[in-house]
């Protein structure tokens, strides 16, 4: 009689029906990893360095989006300015990291005497300005205000909502069709220390 033999370890099957699902899963994971790496690289390339100065005579960084703002005016003046157009103005930017930011505003309301302005960062109100101290009625800006807000990694927005504007509830300049609400003598987004 022959001696009993030890059981042989099972060898992986060369059967394509058993390997197919594993290869498909591995291939799918590889594709997802490559897509994620490309997305991360794209986000890093489009990240905007702070500060973002909207009232300085410098080009805005690529990746900064503006909506509801006029062009920079008064370039020959000591303090150029930019109009915020009603009902809302918005700044969009991509941050490479999360942290704290500061919105810096020096603003006046030559058109709307009882103007109020809400500042929202990523959809949450971080401050409001109203009254003649914060929003003086002439062209001279009020005291510079600084409002802190959380910056999240990725896309961020800072929105400015106005209670009224030219051709809104009132007309303060019939010959000008622009919907100006406030005049920014300083508007910047800074990284907070």
Asked if pLDDT for residue 33 goes beyond 80, the answer is no
Q: Does 6 map to a domain?
A: no
Give which of 91, 86, 88 is closest to 112, Cα–Cα: 86
Residue 102: band (very low, low, confident or very high) from pLDDT cuts 50, 70, 90: very high
72 shares a domain with 39: no
- Range of 36's domain? 16-46
Tokens representing 51 are: 């500060």
Q: Does the pLDDT value for residue 101 go beyond 90? A: yes
Q: Where are the alpha helices (DSSP H) in 90-162?
A: 131-134
Q: What is the pLDDT of residues 124-139, one digit of tens each?
A: 999 999 988 888 888 8
| Concatenated DSSP letters of 97-142 | S-EEEEEEEEEE-SS-TT-EEEEEETTEEEEEEEHHHHS-SSSS--
Number of domains observed in the structure of the chain: 2
Q: Are 180 and 131 in contact (CB under 8 A)?
A: no
How far apart are the C-alpha atoms of 139 and 137, rounded to whole Å?
A: 7
Domain membership of residue 5 (yes or no) is no
| Cβ atoms < 10 Å from Cβ of 52 | 23
Closest CA to 110 of 42, 43, 34, 166: 166
Local confidence band at 3 (pLDDT 50, 70, 90 cut-offs):
low
Structure tokens at 100: 């704290």
- Per the prediction, the chain carries an average pLDDT of 85
Q: Is residue 2 part of a domain?
A: no
Instruction: Tell me, yes or no, whether 145 lies in a domain.
Output: yes
Distance CA 43, CA 68 (A): 25
27 and 98: one domain? Answer: no
Separation of alpha carbons 121 and 125, rounded Å: 6
Dihedral (C-alpha) 129, 133, 138, 139: value to the nearest 10 degrees?
-70
The residue written with tokens 């490479």 in the block is 96
What is the reported pTM?
0.73
How confident is residue 83, by pLDDT bands cut at 50, 70 and 90?
very high
């Amino acid at each position: 009689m022959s001696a009993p033999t030890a059981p042989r370890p099972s060898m992986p099957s060369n059967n394509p029906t058993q390997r197919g699902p594993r290869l498909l899963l591995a291939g799918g994971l590889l594709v997802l990893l490559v897509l994620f790496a490309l997305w991360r690289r794209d986000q890093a390339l489009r990240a905007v360095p702070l500060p973002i100065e909207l009232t300085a005579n410098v080009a805005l960084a690529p990746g900064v989006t503006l909506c509801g703002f006029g062009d920079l005016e008064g370039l020959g003046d000591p303090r150029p300015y930019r109009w915020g157009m009603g009902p809302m103005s918005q700044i969009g930017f991509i941050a490479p990291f999360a942290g704290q930011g500061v919105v810096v505003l020096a603003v006046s309301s030559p058109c709307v005497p009882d103007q109020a302005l809400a500042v929202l960062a990523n959809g949450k109100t971080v401050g409001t300005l109203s009254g003649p101290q914060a929003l003086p009625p002439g062209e001279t800006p009020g005291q510079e205000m600084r409002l802190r807000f959380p910056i999240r990694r990725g896309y961020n927005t800072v929105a400015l909502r106005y209670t009224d504007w030219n051709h809104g509830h009132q007309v303060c300049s019939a010959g000008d069709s622009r919907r100006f609400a406030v005049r920014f003598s300083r508007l910047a987004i800074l990284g907070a220390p």
